[in-house]
């Protein structure tokens, strides 16, 4: 198989991973960093900092993995490297 094409697939994969990990870090680590200022805001009945850490982050993690799986399925097909 064409070496350049394989390299391009890897570069795209790493880009997807980087974007998803930035989101991952923002909802978890970012949410903790600004927990104090967020704690005075109320959201859906929750103190916002508690909601971000207990729910938003966990739900984001689940969605991110399914998004990654689906993006990679498309990428596999685009480059013809699927099993």
Partner 1 sequence: MEIMGYVIVFGIVIVFMAIALYNRATAAEEFYVAGRRIPAFWNGMAVAADWMSAASFISMAGALYALGYDGLAYIMGWTGGYVLLALLIAPYLRKFGKFTVPDFIAERYESNFARLVALITAIIISFTYMVGQVAGVGIIMGRLFGVSFEIGIAIGMIIIIATTVIGGMKSITWTQVAQYIVLITAYLLPVSILAVQWFGIPLPQFLYGQVLQNIVELETQHNVSPHYVEPFAKFNMIQFLSLMFVLMAGTAALPHVLMRFFTTPSVKDARKSAGWALFFIAILYLTAPAYAAFSRYVMLKDVVGKPIDQLPAWAQKWAETGLFKVIDKNGDGIIQWAELNIHRDIVVLATPEIAGLIALVGYFVMAGGLAAALSTADGLLLVIAAAISNDLYAKMIDPNAPEKKVVMLGKIAVAVAGVIGGFIAAQKIAFIVQIVAWAFSLATASFFPALILGVFWKRANKTGAVTGLVVGLVITILYIYLNKYQGVSILGIQHTASGIFGFIANLIVTVIVSKMTSPPSEKIQKLVEDIRYPKKIHEV
Q: Which residues bind partner 1 (CB under 8 A)?
A: 1, 6, 9-10, 13-14, 17, 20-21, 24, 28-29, 32-33, 35-36, 39, 42-47, 49-51, 53-55, 57-59, 61-62, 64-66, 68-69, 72-73, 76, 80-83
Of the two residues 4 and 81, which places its CB atom closer to partner 1 in the complex? 81
> Are residues 44 and 51 in contact, defined by beta-carbon separation less than 8 angstroms?
yes
Q: Measure the CA angle with vertex 36, ends 57 and 54; round to 5°.
A: 25
φ and ψ of 46, to 5 deg: -95, 150
């Amino acid at each position: 198989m064409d070496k350049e094409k394989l390299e391009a697939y890897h570069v795209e994969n790493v880009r997807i991973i980087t974007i998803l990990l930035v989101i991952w870090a923002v909802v978890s680590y970012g949410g903790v960093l600004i927990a104090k200022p967020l704690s005075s805001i109320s959201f859906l009945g929750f103190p916002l900092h508690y909601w971000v850490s207990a729910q938003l982050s966990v739900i984001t993690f689940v969605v991110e993995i399914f998004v990654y799986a689906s993006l990679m399925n498309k990428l596999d097909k685009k480059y013809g490297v699927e099993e």
